[in-house]
Amino acid sequence: MTKPLSAYQQKNGAILVGDSGKNLESLTKGFATPFFLYNADHVRARFTRMKEAYLKQGLPVSIHYATKANCNPRILSLLASLGAKADVVSLGETELAIQAGFLAESVLFSGVAKTVKEIEGALRLGVGQINVESLGELERIAKIAEKMKHTGPFDIGLRLNPNVCPETHPYITTGLQENKFGLEEPAVREAVTILKSAPWLRLRGLSLHIGSQLLDLTALDEALEVGKFVQDRLRADTGWNLDRFDVGGGIGIQYAQFDESDEIAVVDQHASLLKKHLGADLDSGKLTEILTEPGRWLVARSGVLVTEVQYVKTTPHKTFVITDGGMNLLIRPALYEAQHRIEPFIRRPSNNPSLEKVDVVGPICESADFLGRERNLGDVRQDDRLAVFDAGAYGRTMASLYNQRGWPDEYIYLDGTLEKVNVSN
């Protein structure tokens, strides 16, 4: 199978874009900071590599890209052209996906708080499946669908909360009883009762998603076992043809290093795990399709946030490298204590002890506004540019206008060409 090269490389003190040999500094000279740059060649390679992993196991996996990770229209259109489907959590994301080239019937609508407007819109557009998160939501969908049943039946999935705990940050776990997501098994059985009175809705199978940034798949192994057991019981009790199983997303990346080998291996492990739990049902014809929703794994590595040093401020206690981009553009360090690698465009050696460990902070009037703490950037100076790596997922999509600093520009590098493609605001 093909092995995508690193999205960015560091050689002789320079940052290079993939295997192009192009220097990030010279490539973006004159660009106003802060800005995001996405290596779309790498996104394409990652999608191809993931698809190959499932095909090697003989698995009919529909890869639904989680648009919440990065909804730049050029990224969306590229993935749509490669055969990806879409996973959305709002009507706005649904409309963006369709505008970018995803077919409505390829859209999987997730999310815990679907409004009447969103449900009506999703059914009117003809999305492929709505994943239900609560009994109240199912009752609402049933009422709305009844009014539109002449265009049905409408496909749904029931999101099972398997009550398993992955080894990840508590804010990005989603499969525990204490989380707001999904239905526990007794609620799934109540959902079946509702569905029996709503023939214009068609249950295609269960869905589960236990959290993000998964590098150890032990908890997912457990969740799949639970989900498979519940789906088998539902099939036996109802006689319904539950021919889909949605395994969620959440495969993580190694933020601490350029080398991507470990996370490539996790995708192969993921494919083997799906074969282990679902292979027999595929062979027997009980299942015809597996759904998965990667986001971060496909796009995180592709992105860098480029920001410029405004001041280097040294106090008796600490040295701060103050930049023009902060938590308004990349909130993950403040929200999740995420560790993004930060490198200067030009790394100069330094014998100044005060520069050995610096805090890289932004312009926002909050003490939580930092991009990295206790970093060694060498002899960093005013007007230097810094690259914050692995910012292609949950960077721009979680950005805000706090302090009214404006939106950053976004650039796409694809097939040797760099173009500005900003998200509509």
286 and 153 both lie in a single domain: yes
Give yes or no for residue 59 having a pLDDT over 50.
Answer: yes
pLDDT band at residue 355, thresholds of 50, 70 and 90? confident
In the prediction, which pLDDT does 150 show?
A: 82
Residue 168 has pLDDT above 70, yes or no: no
Q: What does the pLDDT look like over 316-341, one tens digit per residue?
A: 999 999 999 999 999 999 998 999 99
Q: Please say which residue of 274, 299, 324 terminates a domain.
A: 299
Q: Do 280 and 325 have their domain in common?
A: no
Instruction: Please give the radius of gyration of the chain, using alpha carbons only, rounded to the nearest integer.
Output: 23
Pair 134, 232 in one domain: yes
* Domain end (from 266, 299, 332): 299
Active site residues: 365
Residue 385 pLDDT level (bands cut at 50, 70, 90): very high
Picking from 277, 299, 321, the residue at the C-terminal end of a domain is 299
pLDDT number for residue 166: 53
Distances (CA, A) of 338 to 145, 160, 332: 42, 28, 6
Residues 281 and 319 in one domain: no
Together in a domain, 31 and 46: no
What is the model's pLDDT at position 275? 98
Percent of the chain with pLDDT over 70: 95
My answer on whether 146 and 271 are in the same domain is yes
Residue 3 is assigned to a structural domain of this protein: no
Dump strand ranges (E) for 42-151.
61-66, 85-88, 107-109, 129-132
Q: What is the pLDDT of residues 80-107, one digit of tens each?
A: 999 999 999 999 999 999 999 999 999 9
| Residue 337 and residue 196 in one domain | no
47 shares its domain with 16: no
Q: Read off the pLDDT of residues 210-223 as tens digits, 9 standing for 90 and up.
A: 888 999 999 999 99
Which is more confident, 170 or 358?
358
Angle among Cα 324, 413, 3 to the nearest 5 degrees reads 115
The answer to whether residues 293 and 414 belong to one domain is no
Helix (H) or strand (E) holding 52: helix 40-56
24 torsion bin: left (phi>0), alpha (psi -120 to 50), beta (else): alpha
| DSSP code per residue over 314-366 | E-SS-EEEEES--TTT--HHHHH-----EEESS------GGGSSEEEE-SSSS
Question: Does the residue 17 lie in any domain?
Answer: yes
Q: Is residue 1 part of a domain?
A: no
Confidence (pLDDT) at 180 = 52
Query: Of 163-167, 204-208, 257-261, 315-319, which gets the smallest average pLDDT?
Result: 163-167
Q: Are residues 28 and 66 in the same domain?
A: no
Tell me, yes or no, whether 425 lies in a domain.
no
Helix, strand, coil distribution of the chain in percent, nearest 5:
35, 25, 40
Co-location of 244 and 160 in the same domain? yes
Residue 171 has pLDDT above 50, yes or no: no
Residue from 111, 5, 35, 4 nearest 67 by CA: 111
Q: List the CATH number of the domain containing 33.
A: 2.40.37.10
What pLDDT is recorded for position 21?
A: 85
Q: How far apart are CA 211 and CA 408, in angstroms?
A: 29
Token pair listed for 307: 């920001």
Domain count, the chain: 2
Output the pTM of the full model: 0.94
Strand partners, 417: 414
Indicate whether 186 belongs to any domain. Answer: yes
Q: In this structure, what token pair is assigned to residue 334?
A: 């403040």
pLDDT of residue 351: 87
3-state secondary structure of 297: helix
What crossing angle do the helices spanning 40-56 and 73-81 adopt, rounded to 10°? 30
Residue 115, domain member (yes or no): yes
Same domain flag for 240 and 268: yes
Residue 349 lies in a domain: yes
CATH number for the domain harbouring residue 149? 3.20.20.10
Q: How far apart are CA 248 and CA 231, in angstroms?
A: 15
Specify the higher pLDDT residue, 389 or 20.
Answer: 389
User: In which band, very low, low, confident or very high, does the pLDDT at 175 lie, cut at 50, 70 and 90?
Assistant: very low
Say if residues 87 and 67 touch (Cβ distance below 8 Å).
yes
Range of the domain at 161: 41-299
In a domain, 2, yes or no: no
